[in-house]
Amino acid sequence: MQKYDEVAKELGLSFNDPTLLKQAFVHRSYLNEHHNFTLDHNERLEFLGDAVLELIVTDFLYKNYPNPEGEMTNWRASLVNSQSLAETGRALNLEKYLLLSKGESKDNNPKARNYILANTVESIIGAIYLDSGYEAAAKFVSEHILVKLPNILENKLYLDAKTHFQELAQEKYGITPNYKLLSEEGPDHNKIFQIGVFLNDEMIAEGKGSSKQEAQMTAAQAAIKAKGWS
């Protein structure tokens, strides 16, 4: 448990029951290789933490912003989506404390690791809530997640990449971007699409994805960077 005492200290937390924090790092795959491990995996904590996180963020937005429900829904989604939570997990150096199977440990798929990190952050929030209550969980969320909100609002990061690029292109050039399929490859069950995003006839950037929608999003993100609008 000493390692997780160090984690608590690094996170500025104090646990009455330190096993709750350790459990927050236990991936299901770890138990497949450690049958005598005394703790359960973190999925129940993640389930609880997900709900607690959404309530804390919703409560904060409701009390501090008079905006319509639709806008606040988009802001909340930007704060609590898996990419945002995975970034929080990396900023807190949680990855080195994950309890994973050997196979999961060696898996360098960024999407898979982001998913695991995001779930771990939610599990930690669930653990804090169980151990110390709502206010302690809210303090953690405020320090590590809500702190991102000013940047999200200033840079309109709550908009998806396609919407954001379209708004910027219309504002700066009066042009609506259009997307064209450049190529597709692979079998039907595992296709990769390559799509270009254009302003009039000029291709600004291209992107790949396992669906046309994902490729368009990737292309839009690349276009924002290519134009120096990020």
Cα(217)–Cα(141) distance, integer angstroms: 28
- In tens, the pLDDT along 161-177 reads 898 899 899 999 999 99
- Please give the residue that has the higher pLDDT: either 225 or 189: 225
Domains in the chain: ranges and CATH: 2-154 (1.10.1520.10), 161-226 (3.30.160.20)
Q: Work out the pLDDT band at 7, boundaries 50, 70, 90.
A: confident
Residue 1, pLDDT score: 57
Cα(151)–Cα(172) distance, integer angstroms: 21
- In tens, the pLDDT along 127-174 reads 999 999 999 999 999 999 999 999 999 988 888 889 889 989 999 999
Residue 61, pLDDT score: 98
Task: Report percent pLDDT > 70 for the chain.
Answer: 99
The single-letter code of the amino acid at 34 is: H
The DSSP secondary structure of 6-54, one letter per residue, reads HHHHHHT---SSHHHHHHTTB-HHHHHH-TT-SS--SHHHHHHHHHHHH
State the average pLDDT over residues 107-136.
Answer: 93
Question: Is 122 labeled as catalytic in the residue annotation?
Answer: yes
pTM of this structure: 0.78
| Average pLDDT along the chain | 93
Beta-bridged to residue 197, according to DSSP, are: 179, 205
Catalytic hit among 46, 104, 122, 206: 122
Question: Is 50 labeled as catalytic in the residue annotation?
Answer: yes
Catalytic hit among 5, 33, 43, 50: 50
**Using an 8 Å Cβ cutoff, are 141 and 122 in contact?**
no
